[in-house]
Structure 1
Amino acid sequence: MPKYDSAKRPPLIIDEFFQLIRYRDLVILIIENILKSRYKRSTLGIFWMLLNPLLQTIVLTIAFGTMFKSSLPNYAVYLLCGLLIWNYITQTTQYAMVSMTQGGGLLRRIYIPRATYIVASAGNGLINLLVSIASLAIIIFFLNHPITLSWFFLPISILILTMFTLGFALLLSTAAVFFNDTVDIYQVLTQALFFLTPIMYPPSILPTEIGKYLIWNPIIPLIDIFRIPIYNNTLPDMDIIIKAIILATIMLIVGWTLFTNKADQVIYRL
């Protein structure tokens, strides 16, 4: 009978990736369970993915649309593009932290890849984003906003966004396991950052002394690579694309490296 040689185990940073591929059916099952548990008691069910961004956009457009009507025609399209990306990043990362800390029982009882819950949370968030784009299409149709070939850039935008969000979720989930207040601190910070990000307003309205600091807001290029092809009907400038790719790549590498290096310790802290 062959003996297990732990020395033959590949580095965890590599092994975790291949284990996730091996357990991909489990990841898909968890994603399905997340969707079912979230909407099983709702009359409208999964249609809330469509209605939530629509209702949010209607309320905010009524509140702020007149204010920015001259500088932002078809304000609802501009607004919803930003909201979809903001909600995707923040809701996915928050859910990943909670699911990681609450899923400790299963992780301790049986072996599954440590990143299973985080990857499943990212998958669930991606499904929410894709469904929510249908609500954006509805608004675009009613406002007669043009659809151009620049929309073909959106798969690249979504890939970059997914890389960033997964890496950020891995980073935050690791922190949440070792520091219990991470979730609460993150919620406070995201509430503040929401108003410091040009989601509801154009960057041009900000005073120069404040606007110059927007370059340090990492969310802006991620929103721009999604919003510009839809709202401006053109491709984002190359510097925006490069900035978003670099940001997403660094976040994914840092998040994955930190999580896999701490993966064995995570089990004992849950």
Structure 2
Amino acid sequence: MGSVFNEIYAYRELYKNMVKRDLRTRYKASFLGFMWTFINPLLQLVVYSVMFSTIMRMNIDKYPMFLFVVLLPWLFFANTTQEATNLIISNSNIVKKVYFPREILPLASATAGLVNLGLSYIIALAALLLFRIPLRPSLISLPLVMGLEFIFTLGVSFIVSAVNVYFRDTEHIWGILLMAWFYLTPIVYSVNIIPAHYLKYIFFNPLVTLTEAYRDILYYGVFPYFPGLLMFALLSLFVLVFGYLVFKRLAKGFAEQI
């Protein structure tokens, strides 16, 4: 894998330009433009807060923040991987005509998503103070958790972006899987309400560990459970390496398939 780092470094200007292009064009045709980076999660926060605070009665203290601090990383994972399914096909003009490391496409997309996540957390930190939730020293571990999520998300992006070139239904199947994954992850509800006989299975979902880490840091103001994060880190590295190998193998036929 060492050669891929050298190759990406050689094409670092292309990588930077693709990240900038992704950030600029994400809301290019809209009136509010880049402000949707902040507005979109805020609107989702309002919808879920109304639904689960007043209608379905989730009796959790300062529920909007309980939800918001983990909704943002979920949106990063879901949006980045969903967009990844169409990355190669939507860039068919350069994939067919220009040589460059194809890995740059999902890498640039995931990087742009991470930048959006970081900007969104500026709003989240301000909202925490507004709700009188103090910012504690546990905040220093937030970049670590974000970095691990980036690795996991990039690995999944490698897989879905490559597979969708050969099997176009992947884009739609992945959307359905994400919807199910959302409700199987304690985002709108607390892990404490899960029945005891199911609790031992819930952590087979890797995003549960991630979600609880974000919530510990930002909502509860404590350091995350580092043994669990270590397991998630190992899994993320495995997903990244496996995803890269799948991508590299399938990339040989991209030009013919699109």
Q: TM-score, normalised by structure 1?
A: 0.89
The one-letter code sitting in structure 2 at the alignment partner of 1:115 is E
The structure with the largest alpha-carbon Rg is 1
Structure 2 residue corresponding to 1:202, chosen from 180, 186, 190: 190
How far does residue 111 in structure 1 lie from its aligned partner after superposition? 0.4
Q: In structure 2, what is the equivalent of residue 178 of structure 1?
A: 166
What stretches of structure 1 move > 4 A for 4+ residues in a row? none
Structure 2 residue corresponding to 1:139, chosen from 120, 127, 149: 127
**Aligned 8 A contact 2:155 2:241 in 1:** yes
The one-letter code sitting in structure 2 at the alignment partner of 1:239 is P
How far does residue 151 in structure 1 lie from its aligned partner after superposition? 0.1
* 1:1-270 mapped onto 2 (5 Å cutoff): 13-66=1-54, 67-69=57-59, 72-270=60-258
How far does residue 96 in structure 1 lie from its aligned partner after superposition? 1.6
Identity in percent: 30
**Aligned 8 A contact 1:16 1:114 in 2:** no
In structure 1, distance between residues paired with 2:180 and 2:93: 34
SS at match of 1:41: coil
Q: 1:38-78 CA deviation, whole Å, 9 max, x = no partner?
A: 22232222111111111111221121125223xx3121111
Q: TM-score, normalised by structure 2?
A: 0.93
In structure 2, distance between residues paired with 1:194 and 1:205: 16
Q: 1:205-229 CA deviation, whole Å, 9 max, x = no partner?
A: 1223433321221211122222211
SS at match of 2:134: coil
How far does residue 34 in structure 1 lie from its aligned partner after superposition? 1.9
SS at match of 1:147: coil
Structure 2 stretches lacking a partner, 5+ long: none
**Aligned 8 A contact 1:90 1:190 in 2:** yes
The one-letter code sitting in structure 1 at the alignment partner of 2:241 is I
Structure 1 stretches lacking a partner, 5+ long: 1-12
The one-letter code sitting in structure 2 at the alignment partner of 1:149 is P
The one-letter code sitting in structure 2 at the alignment partner of 1:177 is V
**Aligned 8 A contact 1:108 1:267 in 2:** yes
In structure 1, distance between residues paired with 2:66 and 2:244: 33
The one-letter code sitting in structure 1 at the alignment partner of 2:39 is L
Number of equivalent positions:
256
